[in-house]
Amino acid sequence: MSRARRFTLALWAFAPMLACHEDTSPGGAGSSSEGSGAVDTSAGSEAGSGGSSGGSSEGSEGASSSGDLPSPYSDSSTGPGAMPTLTGDEATAALGEGLHAFLFSRPSEIVAAYIAFAPPEAFEPGCPETQQFVDGEFVDVMLWATGGCTTAAGVSFSGSGRLQVTTDLVDGERTVDAFELSSEGSTMRIENADGRFFELSGYLAFESGTLTDAIDGAFSFIGDVSADPDTAGTNAVLSGSLRPQGYVYLYSQPDYQALYGSGSVTGDALGSAVAVSFADANVASYPCAVEPAGEFAVRDSEGYWHDLVFDAATFVDGEYDWSGECDGCGTHVAGGEVSDETACIAPEALTALLDWEAMPW
């Protein structure tokens, strides 16, 4: 069986876990602030599909891997007479930076921050009103819910929370470690007496799997999370300077490494861009290590989307067809107009996305 085929089968075996967690909380999947660039990433479906539709119902379908080109994008933040502000090189650079920021957003630090605020000893009888703890052989679950309460130690709880920790679970030939943190459709907030806080509205999950001759894993985030500066530390997601939405799946064996995902990211890591959107994205060491597959768009400061249409591969019926020219370049579509510039992504930008020996969570 080919390396690419094995990756595809592993991905679709994993996809149901991603697809079953549609967040319905405020600020979660399906809701994006105007101009945010965030797209509907619920259920791991067509997250980020076509940057031209991100953040506005007025957008078009976006650049597609089938070669269709988008119509112009506009919303209230794109003023009359404004022009796209990114060159093709700047757009592809922002794409690489956005994908890297999403992949290396360090979700384990977010879970660690939550655990620090909500260890079992932080609870007391009646606060929160609902408490459930399950200690299983491989899976531990801590669930709580409250209309609002404060413990004798001054810890305030509101909303609800659920943490599930999976350790050394054997699933066929795969051994899994995983964390899932959810606000259960509410906005969860825990605040200490000294003013430090942790707040989550949405769902966060990541896992690592070990197979006989390979490793794989995934990271999924839908919603919003924040913490006070001391708790956030250097974590860009907790501090609010980075907002990833969507999911990514990784697979590695001795002679093959690949990334797949759909979603969006906004924040300070994007250079002169304000948002990056990606759908059915695939970066792989084989058969084309210098060009990604999928749908990609980068939003500039004037509100225009720059669709980057790479043509080395197409994604049809769940399969990648790598029959196109593998040269790292594609078409740059700025505000719906095909640019004279060729969009070429730097090989090192893609290499950086596969620069991990273990899951980067």
Instruction: Give the model's pLDDT for residue 80.
Output: 52
Instruction: Give the model's pLDDT for residue 269.
Output: 86
Instruction: Give the model's pLDDT for residue 318.
Output: 84
Report the range of poorest mean pLDDT among 102-111, 173-182, 336-345. 336-345
Instruction: Give the model's pLDDT for residue 335.
Output: 92
Residue 179's alpha-carbon distances to 58, 97, 232, 257, in angstroms, are 37, 26, 19, 23
Total Cβ atoms within 10 A of residue 342: 14
Non-local CB neighbours of 135 within 8 Å, separated by 6+ positions = none
Residues 285-317: tens digit of each pLDDT: 999 999 999 999 999 999 999 999 999 999 888
Q: Determine the Cα–Cα distance for residues 165 and 178; give it in Å rounded to an integer.
A: 6
Instruction: Give the model's pLDDT for residue 214.
Output: 96
> Rounded mean pLDDT of the chain?
82
Instruction: Give the model's pLDDT for residue 26.
Output: 29
Average pLDDT over residues 157-182: 96
Is the pLDDT confidence value at 73 over 70? Answer: no
Assign 165 a pLDDT band (cuts: 50, 70, 90): very high
Residues 128-141: tens digit of each pLDDT: 999 999 999 999 99
Instruction: Give the model's pLDDT for residue 315.
Output: 87
Residue ranges covered by each domain of the chain: 39-104+271-361
